[in-house]
Amino acid sequence: MVQHANERVAYHNGEIKPESRVLVSFRDRGFKYGEAVFDTARTVRHKPFKLEEHIDRLFRSMRYLQIDSGLKREEMLSISHEVLERNLHLIAPDEDYWLFQRVSPGVADPFLSDGEARPTVIVECTPLPLRARAPLYRDGVRVQIPATRRTPPDAVSPRAKTQNYINLQIADREVRAQDPQAWAILLDHDGNLAEGLGSNIFFVRDGELHTPRARFVLPGISRETVIDLAGEEGIAVHETDLDLFDAFTSDECFLTSTSLCMVPVASVNGRRIGKGGLPGPVTARLVEAYKRLLDFDFVAQYTDKL
């Protein structure tokens, strides 16, 4: 099969092919019902960071939804590496990729037929939006709390990374209708802060970190990385219920996400966080620790695009 030199390739059900030839049936249960899972790692200097942890979480999400990809963990890792390697020539040395794995049960529907299920498996990569997100490190993130609440864990566990993102998308559109640059962080049904679209939130108070409990959020790999780094730095971490009082009275605030690693928050609902510049001292200390872990300045990778 001929691959155009300027077109990315993706793995699709046993074959690596140009992205334009990756077609999914409209009867696929991922499309019909949102019955699908995914995960994504980022690369650092073109090498995937904590890919194994992301693949492990993908397989936990599949077990939760009772989806079988038909692939072993080692096969998913190998395919992910191959897809990445075959796309690296399309980005510059100072750029990096998101590396996605997506799995649905496929077309067969046990409610409508006796057909044997054949899963849909896609592995693909997309360049990180470095230029678009660069101002976040200069200005900080403006967090807004939408009226839309996070789906409660007794309905659907947020610890599974599913492709049914409608709850988070509605919340994101709600805040962006008022401020196109705002990032939504949803409350849970008890009025405590939960999470945003692909992001976890941390607050600093009296030199210690506070973050929502894992039961109510998708515990991000970047979130876990920061918690580990805080332990190495001797910074106490509290996983606890946090409401808007905690947000408004915090000394610092930051978000974690796969693409951004860590990024400071400037305000919550228009109220400035802390009294100093961005990032605050504890956030800055953890950012430096994160850079040392990566042996890479992820902040400069973004700000160089300003």
- Residue 300 tokens read as 């400069």
How wide is the angle at C-alpha 105 spanned by C-alphas 100 and 107, nearest 5°? 115
Q: Indicate the fold that domain 133-303 takes in CATH.
A: D-amino Acid Aminotransferase; Chain A, domain 2 (3.20.10)
As annotated, the residues of the chain forming the CATH 3.30.470.10 domain(s) are 9-128
Domain with CATH 3.20.10.10 in the chain: 133-303
CATH for the stretch 9-128: 3.30.470.10
Condensed to tens digits (0 to 9), the pLDDT of residues 32-86 reads: 999 999 999 999 999 999 999 999 999 999 999 999 999 999 999 999 999 999 9
- pLDDT on residue 1: 45
- Distance between CA 107 and CA 115 in Å, rounded? 9
pLDDT of residue 114: 61
Among the residue ranges 92-101, 107-116, 258-267, the one predicted with the least confidence is 107-116
Note the pTM of the prediction, 2 decimals: 0.95
Query: Band of the pLDDT at 115, cuts 50, 70, 90?
Result: low
Segment 165-171 shows an average pLDDT of: 96
Both structure tokens of 225:
């990385």
Residue range 166-184: mean pLDDT, rounded: 97
pLDDT at position 300: 98
Q: What distance in Å separates the CA atoms of residue 101 and residue 108, rounded to the nearest whole number?
A: 21
Q: Which residues contact 126 (CB under 8 A, 6 or more apart)?
A: 97, 98, 100
